[in-house]
Amino acid sequence: MNLKIAVLSGDGIGPEVILQAKKTLYAIGVVYDHEFVFEDALMGAVAIDKTGKPLPEQTLNLCLNTDAVLFGAIGDPKYDNNPSAKVRPEQGLLKLRKELGLFANIRPIKPYKSLLDSSPLKRHIIEGADFTIFRELTGGVYFGEKKLNDAGTIASDLCEYSEEEITRITHLAFKAAQNRRKKVTMVDKANVLETSRLWRKVVKKVSENYPDVLLDFLFVDNAAMQIILNPKQFDVILTENLFGDILSDEASVITGSIGLLASASLGNKNALFEPIHGSYPQAKGKNIANPIASILSAAMLLEHFGLHKEAKKVYEAVEKAIEYNVVTIDLKADSKFGTNEVGDFISNVI
Amino acid sequence: MNLKIAVLSGDGIGPEVILQAKKTLYAIGVVYDHEFVFEDALMGAVAIDKTGKPLPEQTLNLCLNTDAVLFGAIGDPKYDNNPSAKVRPEQGLLKLRKELGLFANIRPIKPYKSLLDSSPLKRHIIEGADFTIFRELTGGVYFGEKKLNDAGTIASDLCEYSEEEITRITHLAFKAAQNRRKKVTMVDKANVLETSRLWRKVVKKVSENYPDVLLDFLFVDNAAMQIILNPKQFDVILTENLFGDILSDEASVITGSIGLLASASLGNKNALFEPIHGSYPQAKGKNIANPIASILSAAMLLEHFGLHKEAKKVYEAVEKAIEYNVVTIDLKADSKFGTNEVGDFISNVI
Ligand SMILES: CC(C)[C@H](C(=O)O)[C@@H](O)C(=O)O
Ligand SMILES: CC(C)[C@H](C(=O)O)[C@@H](O)C(=O)O
């Protein structure tokens, strides 16, 4: 197979972890005779620094015309602590998601056997947990109108959803559930929010097409608790943009480190793959960031193109690294391996 | 002291747990020679059933003219699963919060020594954790304009905040921090939301009045993870309405059961005390609901009126119940004690 992949390393630890994902894909290409052509482009704080824009036209055009996007991380404290900055790195990622129509963000959560004791949660709570979060990614409060009055004293964000936006991701979630344990848990705040009530109505309607899948509902406050109390109850979690953002970071504790969690963002035409951790600026350039989330994002990319045995090979290589303790300090405080060494190990095993 | 207390037991397990709080206050009154006069009133699904309104005028008037409100729980599945219901129990609680101006909801989180092994989290993670969540309670997406188009295909909720709304709760949070470990963590999503950026700006400004208190910031997704990874890092968490709702339910896992968590909702003139758990309809009438959250809410009421030694007495009685395993099945699966027995034990110890 021949794939053209746009690589947006982004900010903070983005470049160093994405480099390991590229190494991995390169190794897969050699072993299985595929050609992956990488094209680097700017996005985020680094793009603002160089071009004034968080998502330069050139980057967007490239992403629109490649088979897939591999993305690192975005964000820089110099913007976070400046509430009145007009241009912000995150705008680049949000615009990219919107322009590529990446409406479904898929985040699998499953602890590794050899890491069952690395979680802050007790082993019996997490052993056997295996669920996937389907987070709506191009709607909700992320994209609704934002206002600040002239005096700078009143601000607002609009959360908006349409039946169509809800329908398309709901189908994906139910299809995924059909290939899993056949349960979808819709998370919302329908006792307070109008948008949540629309979600509930639409999801119920769509669910009629999938009589083999069980549908249940949880309020988001309860869900945030249940994910910790009893993560095994979940199979597919379906939720809106902001709730998905919060719950997926929270759920990362089940695996022991957010540095292990990959995600795929899918649209009708385009696809983007990214680790769910952020730019982690404190670790930048120190060779301590965990590259596994990025490497697993590359594996999700392979799966997306039907390269299942190749993806499996990557999963196995990652498991081997974890099993042999070739991991970064987030997983083993006294580890002598860094970002690069973990990436090398994994690509060498392939 | 002479206190007139409006009692809104509400729905589900509300009445049975609030009864135990009343017993406790009654016992305190006898021992310390205070007179607590309780006046019951309707709110929630039960109020809709009887009067057609979730918050009847009479109830609101009573609450406006008493010293404090003791509130149980609200919510009924028959409304949750009917997205197009026009009248909903939760509207009663939201209206009451608004009308009484209860802008600050205070939720303390601290595990009991003898329950350190009851949490899904490992002992070393939670031992020593002790923080309080200050949740803004009368603003944000809970109260912004809600819309549904005529076709029922597009819905929206507006999240709005003003400088004034942010300022008043921020002062309370910083004052509380001054009497604690002198740290405030503001939780927001300032990399995406305009309202969060306003929060950041205002909180920074207010913080200048409290040079002895350290202020830091976390994005809500990261906060949802940090509460589980390292709860000891927190002293006072300050956040907006919806984030506070999610994070406080989540944080309940630290204590082993949401059935232990009390809250105070304060305004300039009024005060309301309630357990943070919901109406838990599946447990209604079974004598299995944990009354401790309600009893501790009564203790927060006592503290609010300066009755510190009385509150301490309640805390000690609760500790004794926990220590002697006189607890409900959420804390000890094979417990033979029910809601009533736990309430009796605690009020007898006083
Ligand atoms: C960087 C930020 C805008 C982003 C989000 O909130 O979507 C990130 O947290 C994520 O989850 O991908
Ligand atoms: C019942 C519901 C409206 C309420 C809320 O979301 O505020 C509850 O969850 C709470 O936390 O008090």
Is residue B249 a contact partner of residue A221, using CB atoms and an 8 Å limit? yes
Asked if residue B245 has its Cβ within 6 Å of ligand 2, the reply is yes
Judged by CB atoms closer than 8 Å, whether chains meet at B195 and A157 is answered as yes
pTM for the structure as a whole: 0.96
Q: Does A308 reside within a domain?
A: yes
Q: Answer yes or no: do B178 and B248 share one domain.
A: yes
Q: Which residues surround ligand 1 with Cβ inside 6 Å? A: A 74-75, 90, 93, 245, 276, 278; B 191-192, 221
Q: Does A262 reside within a domain?
A: no
Q: What is the DSSP string of A65-76?
A: TSSEEEEEE---
Judged by CB atoms closer than 8 Å, whether chains meet at B195 and A155 is answered as yes
Judged by CB atoms closer than 8 Å, whether chains meet at B194 and A164 is answered as no
Is residue B7 a contact partner of residue B326, using CB atoms and an 8 Å limit? no
| Three-state secondary structure string covering A320-341 | HHHHCCCCCCCCCCCCCCCHHH
C-alpha count within 13 angstroms, C-beta hemisphere, residue B234: 35
Which atom from ligand 2 is nearest to the alpha carbon of A221? 9
Rounded to a whole number of angstroms, the distance from the CA of B229 to the nearest CA of chain A is 6
The number of folded domains in chain B is 2
Query: Where among A200, A233, A255 does a domain terminate?
Result: A255
Element (H, E) at A77: helix A77-80
Query: Where among B202, B232, B255 does a domain terminate?
Result: B255
Average confidence (pLDDT) over B127-136: 98
Q: Does A294 reside within a domain?
A: yes
pLDDT of B85 = 82
* pLDDT per residue as tens digits for the range B33-49: 999 999 999 999 999 99
pLDDT of A221 = 97
Is residue B159's pLDDT more than 80? yes
Q: Which of A76, A79, A90 to mutate to test the pocket of ligand 1 (most atoms within 8 A of CB)?
A: A90
- The rounded distance, in Å, linking the Cα atoms of A89 and A44 is 4
Query: Where among A255, A278, A296 does a domain terminate?
Result: A255
Q: Answer yes or no: do B132 and B43 share one domain.
A: no
Q: Which ligand is nearest to the CA of A224?
A: 2
Is residue B15 a contact partner of residue B70, using CB atoms and an 8 Å limit? no
Instruction: Name, in order, each residue with C-beta under 8 angstroms of B216's C-beta and a sequence gap of 6 or more.
Output: B183, B184, B185, B186
- Structural domain including A157 reads 119-255
pLDDT of B86 = 86
* pLDDT per residue as tens digits for the range A154-190: 999 999 999 999 999 999 999 999 999 999 999 999 9
pLDDT of A79 = 87
Q: Answer yes or no: do B220 and B325 share one domain.
A: no
Q: Answer yes or no: do A125 and A247 share one domain.
A: yes
- Candidates A8, A12, A22; CA nearest to A55 is A8
Q: Reply yes or no on whether A157 is catalytic.
A: no
Q: Does B110 reside within a domain?
A: no
Q: Answer yes or no: do A175 and A299 share one domain.
A: no
Cα A242 to averaged position of ligand 1 atoms, centre (Å): 9
Cβ neighbours around B310 below 10 Å, total: 22
Rounded to a whole number of angstroms, the distance from the CA of B63 to the nearest CA of chain A is 22
Judged by CB atoms closer than 8 Å, whether chains meet at A192 and B75 is answered as no
**Residue among A79, A84, A121 whose CB faces B121 most closely:** A121
Judged by CB atoms closer than 8 Å, whether chains meet at B250 and A224 is answered as yes
Q: Does A295 reside within a domain?
A: yes
Q: Answer yes or no: do B6 and B78 share one domain.
A: yes
Is residue B302's pLDDT more than 90? yes
Q: Does B114 reside within a domain?
A: no
Q: Answer yes or no: do A42 and A18 share one domain.
A: yes
Count of residues in chain A: 350
Is residue B79's pLDDT more than 90? no
Q: Does B212 reside within a domain?
A: yes
pLDDT of B81 = 74
- The rounded distance, in Å, linking the Cα atoms of B93 and A192 is 11
Q: Answer yes or no: do B130 and B241 share one domain.
A: yes
Instruction: Name, in order, each residue with C-beta under 8 angstroms of B269's C-beta and a sequence gap of 6 or more.
Output: B100, B101
- The rounded distance, in Å, linking the Cα atoms of A212 and B256 is 35
Is residue B74 a contact partner of residue B90, using CB atoms and an 8 Å limit? yes
pLDDT of A320 = 97
End-to-end Cα separation, chain A, in angstroms: 18
List the catalytic residue out of A22, A23, A53, A189: A189
For residue B26, the domain's CATH number is 3.40.718.10
Q: Does A167 reside within a domain?
A: yes
Which atom from ligand 2 is nearest to the alpha carbon of A192? 3
Low-confidence ranges of chain A (pLDDT < 70): none
pLDDT band at B141 (very low <50, low <70, confident <90, very high): very high
**Residue among A160, A221, A249 whose CB faces B221 most closely:** A249
